[in-house]
């Protein structure tokens, strides 16, 4: 339903270097008459240098586990937008601090959501949603490149699809990773993503776990921690952050992200402002060393969507 | 189809905040300034509630114009 776009010209120049992405986009533009078209055109014109290699990497990861990325991306996007429209009308998220168990039952423990589109859809948004691509660039530049080359140990809490674990394990052959997630479907998906994309089984150990409970690490033992897109999903964000600060070594780093005024099929903790998030980090013994604020309005000033994503690199307050 | 057209016109006017908006079968998103991803889903959501129907992912993603939207609604009501 949007204006005709000379997409083929762009794809022809890129298909040799990025064949998987070029094929994906050709099919996507054939299929989607409106959804995400302007956002992807933005990526092709304004984020060209980072977009193509990132999209190719993510689509190949997905291809190696037999994904169906166009359907997953569209379904994840539609599910998000449906919730955001309800939020614009009511001001409320789908769940609240008292209904986490409902979110668990209806989303995290539901194969019709997790396996059908959620994990794969969220994975590919890191290439095809401008706001998530920029967040991924911040992850690479401000967190991933700062980690140590030597032997190290870290954890991801709420790893979901496993993309961040892949990035860390792929870049640093001497690091080992642990991971906890509340969803059996995340556990199966992330294990498959890592194993089928060349990460040796003895370099990571993923398990079911619940960040509402204490972490099973001694104080000051972790070199890094990833806690991405989890804060807005849990009823005890302060406790989880304090646990991260406790377990990080004094020179350890945490990558933490969340969303402000952004509903989804499983969000329950509603941050209204960036200040609320930074205050929560500081109150729970985390010092912010880098921050990226990503308001959707920066990408589309006319959009009615008030979403602001934000990402932080933190170290423990000594 | 006239009932559908009347209700659909009201939905378009409400979603786009324009009480003078007139729809026609050939109308596409390119002709309506604020017709983007979120207003598209807002239209779909309002149609689902007004006509008590549910759109499939393919119908939402591949919709070409207002005429096709009316046909889908009519088919689902029968």
* ipTM metric: 0.92
Dihedral, A12, A18, A21, A25 alpha carbons, nearest 10:
-10
A5 touches chain B (CB under 8 A): no
Question: A33 vs B63: CB contact, 8 Å cut-off?
Answer: yes
If you measure CA to CA, which chain B residue comes closest to A89? Answer: B42
CA gap A234, A268 in Å, rounded: 7
β-bridge partners, A204? A177
Question: B37 vs A82: CB contact, 8 Å cut-off?
Answer: no
| CA torsion through residues A262, A128, A157, A193, sign | positive
**Res A309 pLDDT > 60:** yes
**Res A1 pLDDT > 50:** no
CA gap A264, A16 in Å, rounded: 37
Which H or E element spans position A292? strand A286-295
Shortest distance between the Cα of B62 and any Cα of chain A, in A, equals 5
pLDDT digits (tens, 9 = 90+) for A96-117: 999 999 999 999 999 999 999 9
Question: A39 vs B61: CB contact, 8 Å cut-off?
Answer: no
Percent of chain A with pLDDT over 90: 94
CA gap B73, A205 in Å, rounded: 50
A33 touches chain B (CB under 8 A): yes
Between β-strands A286-295 and A308-316, what pairing exists: parallel, antiparallel or unpaired? antiparallel
Residue with tokens 């939207």: B69
Domains of chain A as residue ranges with CATH: 130-316 (3.40.50.150)
**Taking CB atoms and an 8 Å cut-off, how many pairs form between chains A and B?**
64
β-bridge partners, A153? A176
A3: burial class by Cβ within 10 Å (0-12, 13-18, 19+)? Answer: exposed
Question: A74 vs B45: CB contact, 8 Å cut-off?
Answer: no
Interface probe, candidates B32, B34, B38, B62, chain A, greatest A C-beta count within 10 A: B38
Angle at A41 between CA A37 and CA A43, to 5 degrees: 120
Contact between A264 and A80 under an 8 Å Cβ cutoff? The reply is yes
Q: What is the pLDDT of residue A300?
A: 87
Contact between A93 and A51 under an 8 Å Cβ cutoff? The reply is no
Question: A3 vs B35: CB contact, 8 Å cut-off?
Answer: no
Would you tell me the crossing angle of helices A119-128 and A130-138 to the nearest 10 degrees? Answer: 80
CA gap A290, A145 in Å, rounded: 13
Interface probe, candidates A3, A29, A33, A262, chain B, greatest B C-beta count within 10 A: A33
Contacts of A84 in chain B (CB under 8 A): 38
- Around Cβ A229, how many Cβ atoms within 10 Å? 20
Q: What is the pLDDT of residue A317?
A: 95
pLDDT digits (tens, 9 = 90+) for A216-235: 999 999 999 999 999 999 99
Rounded (to 5) percent helix, strand, coil in chain A? 50, 20, 30
**Pick from B29, B34, B57: which is nearest to A78 by CB?**
B57
A224: burial class by Cβ within 10 Å (0-12, 13-18, 19+)? Answer: buried
């Amino acid at each position: 339903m949007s204006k005709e776009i000379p997409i083929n010209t762009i794809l022809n120049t890129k298909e040799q270097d990025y064949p998987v992405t070029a094929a994906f986009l050709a099919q996507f533009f054939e299929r989607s008459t409106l959804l995400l078209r302007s956002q992807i055109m933005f990526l092709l014109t304004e984020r060209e240098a980072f977009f193509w290699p990132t999209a190719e990497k993510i689509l190949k990861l997905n291809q190696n586990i037999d994904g169906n990325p166009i359907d997953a991306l569209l379904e994840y996007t539609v599910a998000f937008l449906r919730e955001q429209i309800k939020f614009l009308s009511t001001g409320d998220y789908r769940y609240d601090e008292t209904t986490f168990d409902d979110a668990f039952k209806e989303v995290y423990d539901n194969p019709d959501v997790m396996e059908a589109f959620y994990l794969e859809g969220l994975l590919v948004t890191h290439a095809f949603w401008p706001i998530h691509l920029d967040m991924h660039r911040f992850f690479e530049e401000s967190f991933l490149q700062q980690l140590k080359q030597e032997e190290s140990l870290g954890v991801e809490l709420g790893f979901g699809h496993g993309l961040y674990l892949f990035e860390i394990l792929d870049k640093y052959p001497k690091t080992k990773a642990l991971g906890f997630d509340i969803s059996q479907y995340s556990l199966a998906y992330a294990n498959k993503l890592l194993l089928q994309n060349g990460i040796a089984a003895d370099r990571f150990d993923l398990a079911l776990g619940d960040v509402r409970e204490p972490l099973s690490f001694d104080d000051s033992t972790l070199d890094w921690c990833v806690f991405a897109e989890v804060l807005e999903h849990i009823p005890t964000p302060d406790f989880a952050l304090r646990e991260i600060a406790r377990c990080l070594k004094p020179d350890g780093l945490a990558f933490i992200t969340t969303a402000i005024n952004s509903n989804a099929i499983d969000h329950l903790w509603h941050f209204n402002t960036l200040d609320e998030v930074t205050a929560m980090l500081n109150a729970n013994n985390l010092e912010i060393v880098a921050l990226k604020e990503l308001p959707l309005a920066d990408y589309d000033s006319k959009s009615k969507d008030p979403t602001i994503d934000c990402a932080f690199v933190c170290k423990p307050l000594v | 189809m006239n009932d559908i057209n009347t209700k659909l016109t009201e939905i378009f006017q409400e979603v786009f905040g324009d009480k003078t908006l007139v729809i026609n079968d050939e109308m596409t998103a390119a002709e309506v300034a604020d017709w983007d991803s979120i207003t598209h889903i807002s239209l779909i959501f309002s149609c689902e509630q007004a006509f008590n129907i549910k759109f499939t992912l393919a119908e939402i993603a591949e919709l070409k114009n207002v005429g096709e939207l009316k046909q889908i609604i009519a088919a689902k009501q029968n």
